Amino acid sequence: MSDIAIRVENLGKQYRIGAKQERYNRFTETVMDTLTAPVRRLASVVRRPSSDVHGPSSFPDLIWALNDVSFEVQRGEVVGIIGRNGAGKSTLLKILSRITEPTTGRVELRGRVGSLLEVGTGFHPELTGRENVYLNGAILGMRREEIGKKFDEIVEFSGVEQFLDTPVKRYSSGMQVRLAFAVAAHLEPEILLIDEVLAVGDAAFQQKCLGKMSEVAGQGRTILFVSHNMGAVDGLCARGIWLEAGGLAFDGPARDAIERYLAGHGQEPVEPLRDRSDRSGSGEAKFVGIALAHDGASGRNAELFTGQAFEIHAEIESSTTMRAFVALRVRDHAGRPVAAFNSREGGYQALLTPGHNRITLRIPFLTLLEGDYWIDGGLVKVDNAMACDRIARILHFRVHPQDFLETGAPWRAYHGLVLVPHTWVTREGKSINVGPASYPTGPSRKGCST
């Protein structure tokens, strides 16, 4: 028996821009549509301009939401689908869920499919939450007894027991998502398709969902997970598929897919910092240059090693004399904040004068582990707490592992995100320090330098 759970071959989906979406009509609406159809057809003929005069532009344009997409997913794989809005991610999952038909190509699914797409998808609004649980189970091909065994677990996970006998149309979007996810995850489909709807839930429920998906993945079931949360994709998925403009841009390890996607969408701007318009703030002072310096080298893109000392030189132009707080935030390859340097917490106010100013941040020991990192910048005026400049991705650097302890074991990314300086104490009372010897061991010291 083949281990392939999903096979997609030359898949394409074409839409007409401006065409009405299909929807299911009530019986009375169908009767009225039939009776009024001749009149509507006559009116449309009278209103429609001649194509000889106006040309083809009189009709809706055609676009390809998906175009020639092919891939295979093995049983038990957890695959993240990433890409910009409009890249074709949701369209792909709708085709896999058999909600919509492809224009070209074919899809082969081997196993029972459960899907959580748009809010309310798969629920009948007039039925209660209880009735919809059984309805979804029946759609998945489960017997009533099978659903009954999972029912209490589903209700407990969703947290909507108080409203279980209320029609779903009266649920908030968050309640619908909670129940829909609980049903999709607990009724044991062999293939689980999850779209970005988890963004509707609160943070605690999102973490609960991610934990459940990890549990489901550990049971050997196949998951396709569409999300804009790169941290969630990186943590949950071993493989990533990047869709761009309806096509397959990359298919490979999840971390590689994320890094290529972010790098391809402005994560490493090449234009001069002073000319960038993607910033906010009053503009009284702004970043116009940034460089990372170490061992005599300097630049906007740098290669560093865990444990290395370096400096960041920020060039700032101000239109007036002011005192400002300077903030630099470090993000990892998935866009997650991992460190921040804010002069407000350090007790330092930068004195900016009209024209050019330079601020230096010195890092005596880099605790970040290997990977790609970006720095965001912020300037806040002290006297009114107003932002002068906020701008993302002003500096990029890559960290490589290094055996700075000379033990033959460099600290790599699988150890986590950061190295926390610490000390091992042996039975004999000997101390083995991991990290810089200059780090204070007692309460934090106050004071700063300008």
Residues 259 and 301 in one domain: no
With a cut of 60, say whether residue 53 has pLDDT above it: no
pLDDT (0 to 100) of residue 297: 57
Residues 189 and 333 in one domain: no
d(CA 257, CA 226): 13
The C-alpha angle 356, 340, 309, rounded to 5 degrees, equals 75
In a domain, 338, yes or no: yes
With a cut of 90, say whether residue 21 has pLDDT above it: no
Domain final residue, candidates 244, 263, 282: 263
Q: What percent of the chain has pLDDT over 90?
A: 14
pLDDT (0 to 100) of residue 377: 94
Contacts of 436 (CB under 8 A, 6+ apart): 307, 364, 365, 421
What SS3 string covers the chain?
CCCEEEEEEEEEEEEECCCCCCCCCCHHHHHHHHHHHHHHHHHHHHHCCCHHHHHHHHCCCEEEEEEEEEEEEECCCEEEEECCCCCCHHHHHHHHCCCCCCCEEEEEECCCEEEECCCCCCCCCCCEHHHHHHHHHHHCCCCHHHHHHHHHHHHHHHCCHHHCCCEHHHCCHHHHHHHHHHHHHHCCCCEEEECHHHHHCCHHHHHHHHHHHHHHHHCCCEEEEECCCHHHHHHHCCEEEEEECCEEEEEEEHHHHHHHHHHCCCCCCCCCHHHCCCEECCCCEEEEEEEEEECCEEECEEEEECCCCEEEEEEEEECCCEEEEEEEEEECCCCCEEEEEEHHHHCCCEEECCEEEEEEEEECCCCECCEEEEEEEEEEECCCCCEEEEEEEEEEEEEECCCCCCCCCCCCHHHCCECCCEEEECCCCCEEEECCCCCCCCCCCCCCCC
Q: What is the CATH number of the domain that holds 390?
A: 2.70.50.60
Domain final residue, candidates 263, 293, 319: 263
Range of the domain at 380: 273-400
Q: Which of 326, 332, 331 is nearest to 313 (CA)?
A: 326
In a domain, 244, yes or no: yes
In a domain, 419, yes or no: no
Residues 239 and 380 in one domain: no
Residues 258 and 277 in one domain: no
Q: Which of 59, 83, 3 is nearest to 260 (CA)?
A: 83
**Higher pLDDT pick, 170 / 20:** 170
pLDDT (0 to 100) of residue 319: 92
pLDDT (0 to 100) of residue 24: 44
Average pLDDT over residues 325-347: 88
Residues 202 and 343 in one domain: no
Q: Which residue has the tokens 């449309």?
A: 44
Quick: pLDDT tens for 72-98: 988 888 899 988 878 888 888 888 888
pLDDT (0 to 100) of residue 199: 58
Residues 287 and 250 in one domain: no
Average pLDDT over residues 98-121: 78
d(CA 225, CA 238): 11
Please name every residue paired with 342 in a beta bridge, in sequence order, or none if there are none. 327
Q: Which residue has the tokens 């390859």?
A: 333
Residues 217 and 294 in one domain: no
Query: What's the pLDDT band for 28 if we cut at 50, 70, 90?
Result: very low
Q: Looking at the 3D structure of the chain, how many domains does it have?
A: 2
Task: Note whether 416 and 371 are within 8 A (CB).
Answer: no
Q: Which of 300, 289, 301, 375 is nearest to 339 (CA)?
A: 375
Residues 200 and 332 in one domain: no
d(CA 309, CA 366): 6
Query: What's the pLDDT band for 259 if we cut at 50, 70, 90?
Result: confident
Q: What is the CATH number of the domain that holds 213?
A: 3.40.50.300
Residues 257 and 294 in one domain: no
Quick: pLDDT tens for 392-433: 888 888 888 876 666 666 666 666 778 887 788 888 878 777
pLDDT (0 to 100) of residue 286: 94
In a domain, 27, yes or no: yes
Give the number of other Cβ atoms within 10 Å of residue 231's Cβ.
15
pTM of structure: 0.59
Average pLDDT over residues 315-322: 94
In a domain, 228, yes or no: yes
Domain final residue, candidates 263, 284, 306: 263
Residues 131 and 224 in one domain: yes
Rounded to 10°, the helix 129-139/173-186 angle is: 40
In a domain, 231, yes or no: yes
pLDDT (0 to 100) of residue 48: 41
Residues 146 and 207 in one domain: yes
Q: What percent of the chain has pLDDT over 70?
A: 76
**Higher pLDDT pick, 208 / 425:** 425
Structure tokens at 348: 């330092």
Contacts of 20 (CB under 8 A, 6+ apart): none
Average pLDDT of the chain?
Answer: 77
* Most confident range, picked from 19-28, 71-80, 259-268: 71-80
Quick: pLDDT tens for 135-169: 877 776 677 887 888 888 888 877 787 888 888 88
Q: Which residue has the tokens 């300077």?
A: 326
In a domain, 54, yes or no: no
Residues 121 and 228 in one domain: yes
Quick: pLDDT tens for 184-199: 777 777 888 887 666 5
Of 52-66, 249-263, 370-384, 385-399, the least confident: 52-66
Q: Write the Ramachandran bin of 120: left for phi over 0, alpha for psi from -120 to 50, otherwise beta.
A: left
In a domain, 423, yes or no: no
Query: What's the pLDDT band for 54 if we cut at 50, 70, 90?
Result: very low
